Structure formats: structure tokens, C-alpha cells
Amino acid sequence: MLSKIMKPKTIAVIGASTKEHTIGSDIMKRLQEYKFNGKIYPVNPKGGIIEGLQAYTTVNEIPDEIDLALIVVNAKFVLSTIDQCHQKGIKGLCIITAGFKETGKEGAELEKQLLAKVKEYGMRCVGPNCLGVVNTHPDIRMDACFAESLPERGNIGFVSQSGALGGGILNILKDLNLGFAQFISIGNQADVNAETALEYWENEEDVKQILLYMESIQNPANFRKLATRISKKKPILALKAGRSAAGASAASSHTGSLAGADKAANALLAQSGVIREYSLKNLFATAKVFANCPIPKGDRVAIITNSGGPGIMATDAVCEYGMQMAKISDETKEKLRSFLPSAASVKNPIDMIASAPIEHYKQTLETVIKDDNVDMIMVIYLPFLGLKDIDVARAVMEIKAQNPSKPIIGVFMTKSEFFTKLSDMDVNMPFFMYAEEAADGFNRLNQQRKWIERPEGNIPTYSVDRQKASQIIKQSISEGRAQLTTRESIDVLDAYGIRVCKSGFAKDIDEAVNIANSIGYPVVMKMTSKTTSHKTDVGGVRVNIQSEEQLRNEYSDLIAKLKEKNLLEGLEGVIIQEMVKGNREMVCGIATDPQYGPMMMFGLGGVFIEVMKDVTFRIAPLSDMDAQEMIKSVKAYKLLEGARGTTPAQMDQIKETLLRLSQLVSDYPFIDELDINPLLISEKTGEGIAVDGRIKVRLEEAMDKLGASNCSCGSCAGCCQ
């Protein structure tokens, strides 16, 4: 699909120039300096000789077929240039020229016309407004961009939405001890975007890992589908920028106020198996680990050190990531004792003591690497007694070359000159200054291992009462109400099989008493209003009502308080609910992101939800694995397991609640916000019970989907259309 662009045999540089320090000149120089294996044809209206090659006045004058056109002409000539490329039969374009949608309305219109031509002509196009493309494969050797430095050979496929950033990275690859297999600067991504690159690189043997720098995800659903599949084959690392700009939405629900575009992006990446990094430093540190380490078989880490303190700190870092310190076998310990001094410790971390010579490093690593209880090894070096860091590194790398099946990371707490020397060497393992960096690298390897082993998961479909739910929502929107009442919200949840409290609706105190007597005391009384959504703020929730007398008193007080606050208008009545006993309050809900769609939330609920913020998000629809991971990922999970003698929560039932909510929002995609807060964990049964609910829809969209009109009769469900 992108072979004409990424593996061309012939390239036309349209806008090639003899003028120094112009893009048209630099592109020609880079192609030649990197020794492109195909033919280069400069195109310039003046003709002549450019960089020693015959220049053609138009692309149609070129005698050969052209695979890739690199376009660096003025923006106003780009459309006519595309027409000429079509006449020539060119299918691959890389438009480096700027001046399109990044400049405003006129540029956006120009880009729209550009894309229309590309599609009409059956072309593929990188850009516009991009740095270019690179393929370092020995059979190709294409540096078709204008970064200052020539690219370093490696196994990374890198997509950058920022051209300048991509150029800066190409300039420092040698210092990073990394190399690219292929590089695509997508620029305005009019046609080719990150998803296109992902799909292209899925089966490219040359690309062993994929790095993404993104400021936006154009098609989240398609990205999720592709990345979920591809990340099982090779690691995908992403630096998603724009976190602070996203902010939380100005939504009225708890879920909405805690959500936001960045949380949606984070959820999408997590569900897709993409490893998200939050800085360029961490992105390339992790890339260095994947470039030089196999995926481990488990999470058991052995630490070899010549100093006790760093070994202990490394142990702390490993454990904080939830990995295990490997239990060194008795056989391995016996072998270590045979050559290490008596003062050394053969427990993990293995402390060879400060006097350890190179031979001890080699023997210890060779011994530990053979232990079946060890999955990953960290080798720590501190300079002592004249031992040279680079000599130790060479010795460790020799052993790594002989034993490639286990990840080894070096931690060399030495001078920066050491890392400069490494940049001139052919290294086969990653080196870091600090143990925490190595532990982070192991954690990323382990994260990829767990993702590969993770079952794909299923999206179940439950038997629900859609007719009942539709009637309830129709009634609300026919009255022009986007916000369903508490009673309506709970009834919709009930229609979808979500466990709700035993309850009844009462319009006056006598009805309330009858319902309470049938349910049995203690009970909870909640106001339900068409105009007031947050009941607790106005004293609209009364709990632990023990008798009929108390119920009558609480009802009278509620009415008085509402009257005092001028809130009686809109009051429908009260809901009488069973009093579920339990101290563990969770929350689950739905918020809608304009780009990513419905987001599911789960976490610690109650009145402190927005203070504690112990919540997690996933994009709907949820698989059973997504729901399970949501529950396990919050800190409150320990409470659900049954801390301090409490009844363990019914995890499968809570998971089903999330999956039923996911089905609800899939069936009614116009649901804008939904909260179940709290989802109270019953102390008696461990069930998650929805004791309160709140649903808000996008009114016009709901009317369109359900065929209900906003009429004045107040009782119809679309009958007045």
C-alpha cells in the first residue's frame, strides 16, 4: 500500500534547486549522500544540472517510470503538480510543501482539494507540510527528508506528526544509540496517517517495533482495531502530546467532570496494547530496551552488583513495578560461592563486593543466566579499584551475545564519557545511568509479555428489556428533557438487568409509607425532580429511616426545605428504597468524548469521588477482559477483595454490571452522561447494587434516533408528530 513511497526504485524531486540551504537543495543532497539505490530525477522549470544530475523542466519529460514524487514547490502550484504526476502515472507522493490547513481556512480548502485529487487518481500521499520519509534498508537507502544528519540504521518504524521534532530526533539517533528502519513524517496527514503506517509496518520484517509521536488520533475506532492486532506481533510505543490542553469537560456528571480527551486517549492506548510514554526521554529509553532485548518468559529479575546500596535501590524499583525478585536456585548459589569471596552475597541481589574484577562479572553473569528461575538480569557497575567501565561493558556484551534469549540491562553509574563511547560501538544491550531506568525498561518488557499472553476477550450480549428502556427515554425527550429523573434513570438500569435497590415511587407521604412498609425498614428516601439533579446538595436524600413516624417527619422536612429554596416546582415525588448496608461505595458511569465516543468509568465512589479520583476509564464497547482490567486497576480493588474481614465483592457480578452498561450505551449511543454513584457493595451478599442513577442524553440526537418529538402535551411518546 505504501511501497511506492517507502521502497521506490525511482524518485522525482519536483522543486529541486541549486540554491544552497533550501529544501529543494537539501533533499537532493541527502538522497545522494545516503547513496539511494535507485535513480534520482531533479525537476526544475529552468532545467540544467542539479547536484550533478540532469534536471527536467517538467515531470513528464522524465524518460523512466517514476515511483515516488517528492514535491517541494510553492503551495499554489501543488495541485497542478499533482495533475502532472497523474499524467505521468506516478502513484506515490510525499508533499513536503507547507501552506495548507495549518495556515487557516484558505489553506484547509486547498488541502481538501489536494486530497480529492489524490483519491480520484488512486495515489497515496504523505504530507503535506512534512519533513519527508526514510528507509534505511541496504537495498533501498532512501533519505528523502531535510534533517541535518543522515539516519542511523536500526529496527524502528517511527511516525512523527511533527516534522521539526522528527528532524531533531534523526539528528541525535547516534547519541541515543538507536536506529530507524523506516521513518514517516505525516505532517498534516491529509491521506497517510499513523494508522496507515501501522498497517503497512504490520508485516514488514525490517520493522521490529513501532514508535508514534501523535498530537491527535484521527479515527479512534480504526486505530483501536489495528493497534490491538499489531501490538500482539510487535511493540507499539506512543508519545501522545496535548495532555494539558485537553482538560476536563465542563460536564455536570461525576464521570464527565473526571473525563477529558487525554483520559480518552489513555484508555484507547491501554485497550489497544500500546505502551504510552510521557516524554521523549522515556520513549527512546523504552525503544532502546525493545531494540536490544527479547520478550521475557516471566517477571523474575536477578540483580548482579558490585555495591550493596545500588543493589537495594534496584530491588526496591523492581518490586515497586510489581515484578518479582528471582529466587536463585541452590545449585546457582553453590556455583557462585565457588569463585566469589566469602564476603559476597549470593542471595538476590547478588553482591560481588567492590573488589570484583572483570572475571567475576563474567563468571557471575554466565552462572545466573543459566538459572531457570531467572527471566531478566540487571548488571550494576560502580567504578572501584581502577576497573574500567568500558571493559566491563564489553565483557558483559560478549556474554549477552552468547546468550541472547534473556533480557540483560546494564546500569553503569559512571562518567558521561562512558555513554559517549557506547555511541561509537555496536552494542547489543541497553545501558542506563540509574537502576530505576533499568527497572522501568524491565517493566515495559513485562507489560508487552502480559499483553501478548492476554486473551483477546469477548463482547457479550445480554438479554435486556429494550422496549421498556426506549419508552422511558422517549417519555423524557418528548417533554424536552435531556436529563432523565432519578426514577427514570433507575428504571432504565433495571431494564438492562443492572441490580438496583428494591424501590417504589410515591407522589405523597401516604404512598411513601405504603411502599416502605412493603419493603421493610430501614429505608432510604430520595427526591426525584425534573429540575434538580444533584439531590444531596439540597438535602434530597434521607437515609436510615427506621419507622413510619420517622419517614413522615423526614418527608415533611424535605418538603419544607425545598419550599424554602424555591425548588418545589419540578418535584415528581420521592423514591423509597431498601437500605443496603455497606461501607464500600464504588462508581461506574459513561461520559462521551466528542472524538473518542463513549467512555466507561469505574472506581471509588461516594461524595469524595472528585477528590480521591481513584477511577479508571476505557472506551466502549468493553470486552470482558477490559471490564476485568478496569476493576483490578483501581486502588480500591483491595477493598473489593474483602479487607479487614468484610465480605468479598462479587467480582463477576460487578464486571457484568460494567458490560451491561457498555451494551446500554452501544444500544443508545446518544447517551451523553451516566452515573451510578454509589454502586454500593452489599455487606451481606457482596453484590454491587445501584442505589442511585443519573442519565443525560443529547436531546436532538435522541429525538432523531427514537422518533420522539418535543411536544407540549407532556404525556406522549412521539404521538404528536
| Structure-block grid coordinates of residue 616 | 479508571
Rounded CA-CA distance 433/411 in Å is 6
Radius of gyration of the chain (CA): 32
| Structure-block grid coordinates of residue 451 | 499483553
Going by C-alpha positions, the residue among 81, 75, 8 that lies closest to residue 44 is 81
Q: Is 693 helix (H, G, I), strand (E, B) or coil?
A: strand
DSSP codes, 438-498 = HHHHHHHHHHHHHHHHS-----------HHHHHHHHHHHHHTT-SB--HHHHHHHHHHTT-
Query: 0.75 cut: is pTM over it?
Result: yes
State CA 538 to chain mean position distance: 39
- Give the model's pLDDT for residue 243: 65
Rounded CA-CA distance 703/612 in Å is 37
Going by C-alpha positions, the residue among 166, 164, 202, 204 that lies closest to residue 184 is 166
Instruction: Please report where in the chains the cell 505521468 appears, as a residue.
Output: 88
Cis peptide bond prior to 128, omega within 30° of 0: yes
DSSP assignment letter at 425: S
CATH superfamily membership of 584-706: ATP-grasp fold, B domain (3.30.470.20)
- Give the model's pLDDT for residue 252: 46
Rounded CA-CA distance 449/194 in Å is 24
DSSP codes, 289-349 = HHHH-PPPSSSEEEEEES-HHHHHHHHHHHHHTT-EE----HHHHHHHHTTS-TTSB-SSS
DSSP assignment letter at 645: G
Rounded CA-CA distance 336/364 in Å is 7
State CA 199 to chain mean position distance: 18
CATH superfamily membership of 3-207: NAD(P)-binding Rossmann-like Domain (3.40.50.720)
Cis peptide bond prior to 460, omega within 30° of 0: no
Is residue 691 a contact partner of residue 680, using CB atoms and an 8 Å limit?
yes
| Structure-block grid coordinates of residue 103 | 495556515
DSSP codes, 696-707 = EE-HHHHHHHHT
Rounded CA-CA distance 650/614 in Å is 20
- Give the model's pLDDT for residue 719: 37
Task: Report the DSSP pairing between strands 142-145 and 132-135.
Answer: antiparallel
Rounded CA-CA distance 12/81 in Å is 12
**Same fold yes or no, 3-207 and 292-453:** yes
The alpha-helical segments, DSSP class H, found in 177-251 are 194-201, 220-230, 243-246
Rounded CA-CA distance 174/153 in Å is 10
Is residue 323 a contact partner of residue 443, using CB atoms and an 8 Å limit?
yes
Q: How far apart are the first and last CA of the chain?
A: 50
Is residue 315 a contact partner of residue 303, using CB atoms and an 8 Å limit?
yes
Measured in degrees and rounded to the nearest 5, phi and psi for residue 12 equal: -105, 125
CATH superfamily membership of 466-578: ATP-grasp fold, A domain (3.30.1490.20)
Going by C-alpha positions, the residue among 56, 60, 25 that lies closest to residue 41 is 56
Domain parsing of the chain, residue ranges:
3-207, 292-453, 466-578, 584-706
- Give the model's pLDDT for residue 245: 40
Run means of pLDDT, 10 residues per run, the chain, 721 residues? 95 96 96 98 96 97 97 97 98 97 95 98 97 97 94 96 88 90 96 97 97 90 97 96 50 50 90 96 96 98 96 97 98 98 97 96 98 98 91 97 97 95 94 97 98 95 97 95 92 96 92 95 92 79 94 94 89 91 91 90 83 90 97 93 88 98 97 94 93 93 81 41 34
Burial 136-160 (b: 16+ CB within 10 A, else e): bbeebbbbbbbbeebbbebbbbbbb
CATH of domain 292-453: 3.40.50.261
- Give the model's pLDDT for residue 535: 77
Is residue 501 a contact partner of residue 689, using CB atoms and an 8 Å limit?
yes
- Give the model's pLDDT for residue 258: 56
Going by C-alpha positions, the residue among 8, 67, 77 that lies closest to residue 36 is 8
